[in-house]
Structure 1
Amino acid sequence: MASFDVPEFDYTRYSNRQLAAVPLAVLAVALLVLTGSFLATGTPVPLGMDFSGGSELTIQTTSSEAEIAAAFDEEPESIQAVSAPDSRNQYVVQFASTDLESLSQQAQQNLEQDGDADIVQLESTVSESFGAQTQQTALLGLAVAFVGMSAIAFLLFRTFVPSIAIVISAFSDLVIPLAFMTVAGISLSLGTVAALLMLIGYSVDSDILLNNHVLRRQGDFYESTRRAMQTGITMTVTSMAAMLVMGVAAWLFGVELLASIGIILFVGLAADLMNTYLLNLSLLRWYKFEGVRS
């Protein structure tokens, strides 16, 4: 795998509290954002149709988004433009209502007056109860993945501080992208849950790499850290570049889900860099030089 020179960082200039201050402050802000959203809307992150229920129409028309919104009695939850094979634009329109037949009739009556609209596809509706059940299943999957990751960390290192450092970093790697989703208005869906699950894997990989170099390989603490950073930062930055390219390309071609996954992974990987080489490393250094090892 190709690599690049990681800039030298003099950790000796900073105390453990100084290293941990930045990632902990970012984590605190992220928790405040999620708490505020929960108090204001009832959910910490906006829920997509997969979890909240609703209906979806795919319409091909020359009408503008404003004209499409005005064509329905109910205000659409979202209107997403996608590519179409001819000069007309294709839109995916989502509603909170599950009355798909009524929505289809409104589209045909109000958008086809000039003969310029087609209902390309009628997506099946998602009931509110089914969406809630899907939401519980997805959150359970995230919880099981996180608990499993935590158990693996404790089994690998069998000591509290190095293991809890991995768990705290992984927790922050999840919370920060969730807060970003709230601020950016990215809905929680089955696709974005998959991105969050991937972040758990990325996080545990980089943290275990650092812990393994520092605790199990011979050499000075800072030299071991340098070797871990050379490999870990190369892997993470390469993945960030790939996710950014995917997100931008998907956004240009109107593929909203892939764009959301790409930007969530990019933000999560950036958070992972910060948490691994500031928060996790500060806990490891305290454990190596000041803590009581068992």
Structure 2
Amino acid sequence: MVDVITYITKKSHKPLILVPVILMILSLLYLGIFGLNQGVDLKGGTLVTLELKEQMSETDVTNTIKSGLGAAEVETSLSGNTATVTISGDVDQAQFEQKFSDKFNILSFKSVGALLSEAAMGQIAYALLFAFVFMAITVFYVFRDPVPSLAIILSAICNLSIAVGSMSLFGIPLSVASVGALLMLIGYGVDTDILLTTRLLKRTDGDLDDRAEGACKTGITLTISALASMVVLFIVVKIFIPSAQVLEDISAVLIMGLISDLLSTWLMNLGILKWHMERGGHN
């Protein structure tokens, strides 16, 4: 890993800026074409946890419920003989039990109303916009230089874009849990960007490459530690607690977001800042 850090910080920082930029563009294109599914807590619906009475695949469970209820959308997550099923619209529990009593035992059954309306989603978008603006103002106030401010904002946008594009790619729905994970991701990403910017612009010990290498070692160690904990959480939930969909969604989003943070901070933001300082910026 030391050789990789040395290559990033001392040998080829300018071309590497393009890597997260290209990934961001591809993520936005994929998101624009295929869109992002909304979770049941956003659009409303019914969540059912079932115990299977006979061996069935996810497709079998989905098709059985879809044909029995005439539901337009049914999603199934299967672990062993336990299935977690999301059904669009309200479903009567007594009717469900009557239709499928020979195939399933109901472990839990709840109807969920839409918690976040379109207006609320608009407010979240405004909150994110203001967060980015105030982050830029704060960074500009601290460093008195517009380039680090713009670099941090661009890095955060890149990080968020790749994470949301990955959600679309892997079928992770936009839900209350995933929105919370994205907000956590913004905060974590800005922390690593501030670490990098402070080391390069405020410190005077050593030359620029040495400060960049030190910041990179510290930041990558922190991110890999957080990434490892999220991977462990995802595996534990997937294997032992398959009904804990909220934890699975949060850990999956954070795994993808932390990987994108490594790219956006240590390839793009580092490259921009070094390029800026080599051209005489922040004197």
Matched with 1:263 is: 252
Among candidates 11, 23, 29, match of residue 32 of structure 1? 29
Q: Give distance in 2, aligned partners of 1:8 and 1:292.
A: 23
Secondary structure of 2:209's match?
helix
Q: Give distance in 1, aligned partners of 2:48 and 2:177.
A: 19
Whether the 8 Å CA contact 1:50–1:134 is kept in 2: the answer is no
Give the number of the structure with larger relative contact order, counting CA–CA contacts within 8 Å between residues 6 or more apart.
Answer: 2
Whether the 8 Å CA contact 1:51–1:134 is kept in 2: the answer is no
Deviation digits for residues 125-183 of structure 1 (CA, Å, limit 9, x no counterpart): 315x9643453454444444444433332332221001111111111111101000101
2:39 pairs with 1:45: no
Displacement, 1:91? 3.0
Matched with 2:160 is: 174
182-191 or 271-280: bigger deviation: 271-280
Within a 5 Å distance, the mapping from 1:108-187 to structure 2 comes to: 108-112=97-101, 114=102, 117-127=104-114, 131-187=117-173
4-13 or 266-275: bigger deviation: 4-13
Displacement, 1:260? 2.2
Q: Give distance in 2, aligned partners of 1:187 and 1:125.
A: 15
Structure 1: unaligned runs, 5 residues or longer: 38-43, 84-88
2:218 pairs with 1:226: no
Within a 5 Å distance, the mapping from 1:1-294 to structure 2 comes to: 7-10=4-7, 11-14=9-12, 16=14, 18-37=15-34, 44-63=35-54, 64=56, 65=61, 66-81=63-78, 89-98=81-90, 100-101=91-92, 104-112=93-101, 114=102, 117-127=104-114, 131-218=117-204, 219-253=206-240, 254=242, 255-293=244-282
Query: Structure 1 residues 137 and 251, CA, compared in 2 at 3 Å: closer, same or farther?
Result: farther
Give the fraction of aligned pairs with identical amino acids, expressed as a percent: 31
Query: Structure 1 residues 137 and 77, CA, compared in 2 at 3 Å: closer, same or farther?
Result: farther
Displacement, 1:188? 0.5
Q: Give distance in 1, aligned partners of 2:135 and 2:227.
A: 22
TM-score computed with the length of structure 2 as normaliser: 0.85
Alignment-mate amino acid for residue 155 of structure 1: Y
Secondary structure of 1:9's match?
helix
Alignment-mate amino acid for residue 171 of structure 1: I
Deviation digits for residues 84-127 of structure 1 (CA, Å, limit 9, x no counterpart): xxxxx4433222223x32xx344222212x4x644443313315
Q: How many residues end up aligned between the 2 structures?
A: 273
Alignment-mate amino acid for residue 273 of structure 2: L
Q: Give distance in 2, aligned partners of 1:221 and 1:141.
A: 36
Secondary structure of 1:34's match?
helix
TM-score computed with the length of structure 1 as normaliser: 0.82
The alignment yields a C-alpha RMSD, in angstroms, of: 2.5
Whether the 8 Å CA contact 2:77–2:83 is kept in 1: the answer is yes
